[in-house]
Amino acid sequence: MTLGQLSWSRWYGIVVKEFIQLRRDRLTFGMIVGIPVLQLLLFGFAINTDPKQLPTAILAADTGVFSRTLVAGLRNSGYFDIQRQAHSEAEALSLLHSGEVQFLVQIPEGFSRRLVRGERPALLVQADATDPAATGNALAALSGIVDTALSHDLRGPWAGLQPRPPPVELRVHRLYNPEGLTQYNIVPGLLGVILTMTMVLMTGLAMTRERERGTFENLLSTPALPLEVMTGKIVPYIIIGLVQVTLILIAARWIFTVPMQGSLLALYVVVVLFIAANLTLGITFSSLARNQLQAMQLTFFFFLPSILLSGFMFPFRGMPDWAQALGSLLPLTHFLVLVRGILLKGSGLVELWPAVWPILLFMAVVIAVGLRFYRRTLD
């Protein structure tokens, strides 16, 4: 098969054509700018993995000083919003069952009295744990809350009831995101998710659109080479991707106050790499798909695991090994490591190399597949 010579003039012609077409397609153009801004604002503000002010009901059979202290302590922690005072156990349980409250705190009869006597009375906390993420942090904070709340009142004659200090003093440093703000994690992640979606989809549609409209036949009848067509179609979307990234970064900096520890240059290098990987995938999808609908389906087939297995939504290390292996195939997984590393930790490209080469490898494989399946003829 004669490959012929790559021609800059042809390549440039394809780039120009794509830009003109993109400019005329107002809706697509609007989506390209609108989607990232909208999603960023929506998800950036909406998603919170450390939920607070969770509705709580109290069933207090004891009104002693320690009970009151305890309730105040729960309230002050910020996790518990005490909305209801239940009067019977049946009523309390029905509140939990109907989902009206997330927690039910039961203070048994004679709680304060038994506490003073050193009888270690039980404090029952029942949680609606259907969604572990919603209750996890609040429950984890619980024992600390109880200890500190009571320590104020356990003075003088009752000082002996103070909890004994543990044999080891535990020191925890929460690095890179000391306040545990979800935004810091979500906003850089959104960068990757938005790029994955728009880049794969846009290019996925680009080639199938030609085929559906019949213009592909015309393109094929010219001397244009597959590599020229593929790369020529990619260029406008690289620029669009960079515009999206810049918009997101501006919002991250000024709206979500995400720290930017690392070098902006390194970030953009990584971004270009990631964009290129997604675009080659999109172009390959469009070579495989017969029409725009199929290209769309392929995109979503890729997009869902990208969101769920990459560590964007759920902790990557929480998945079983096979799922981690699967997730490692996805460029988004590595991009998340890169972008969070650069923005939050200030890592450099050299340290991050282990997350760079998988994206390069992914790209090489996808290009090979794409060129293999690009139909030079109509067969």
Partner 1 sequence: MSSDLVIDVRNLNKRFGTKHVVRDLSLQVSAGEIYGFLGPNGSGKTTSIRMLCGLLTPDSGSGTCLGHDVIRQTAEIKREVGYMTQRFSLWEDLTVRENLDFVGRMYGMRNRRDAVGAAIDRLGLGSREHDLAGSLSGGWKQRLSLAACMLHEPRLLLLDEPTAGVDPKARREFWQEIHELAATGVTVLVSTHYMDEAERCHRLAYIAYGRLLARGTAAEIVAERALGAWTVSGDELAGLAPKLVPLAGVDHVTVFGSQLHVTGRDREQLARSMEQAARQYGDYRFAPAAPGLEDVFISMMDNARDDRQ
Question: What is the SS3 assignment for 83?
Answer: strand
Nearest CB to partner 1, comparing residues 174 and 372: 372
Nearest CB to partner 1, comparing residues 222 and 246: 222
Nearest CB to partner 1, comparing residues 232 and 311: 232
Which residue's structure tokens are 């690095």?
175
What is the closest distance, in whole angstroms, from the C-beta atom of residue 371 to partner 1 in the complex? 16
The residues near 359 (Cβ < 8 Å, ≥ 6 apart) are 273, 274, 277, 331, 334, 335
Q: Is 272:349 a contact under the CB 8 Å cutoff?
A: no
Q: Which residues pair with 126 in a beta bridge?
A: 104
Closest alpha carbon to 266 in 360, 356, 363, 348: 348
**What tokens were used for 136?**
């996890």
- Which residues sit at the interface with partner 1, rule CB under 8 A? 1-2, 4, 7, 9-10, 12-13, 16-17, 20-21, 24-25, 213-215, 217-224, 377-379
Nearest CB to partner 1, comparing residues 53 and 215: 215
Nearest CB to partner 1, comparing residues 20 and 293: 20
Query: Measuring CA to CA, how many Å separate 318 from each of 47, 185, 322, 324?
Result: 19, 16, 11, 9
Query: Measuring CA to CA, how many Å separate 140 from each of 122, 137, 186, 189?
Result: 18, 5, 22, 26
Nearest CB to partner 1, comparing residues 8 and 322: 8
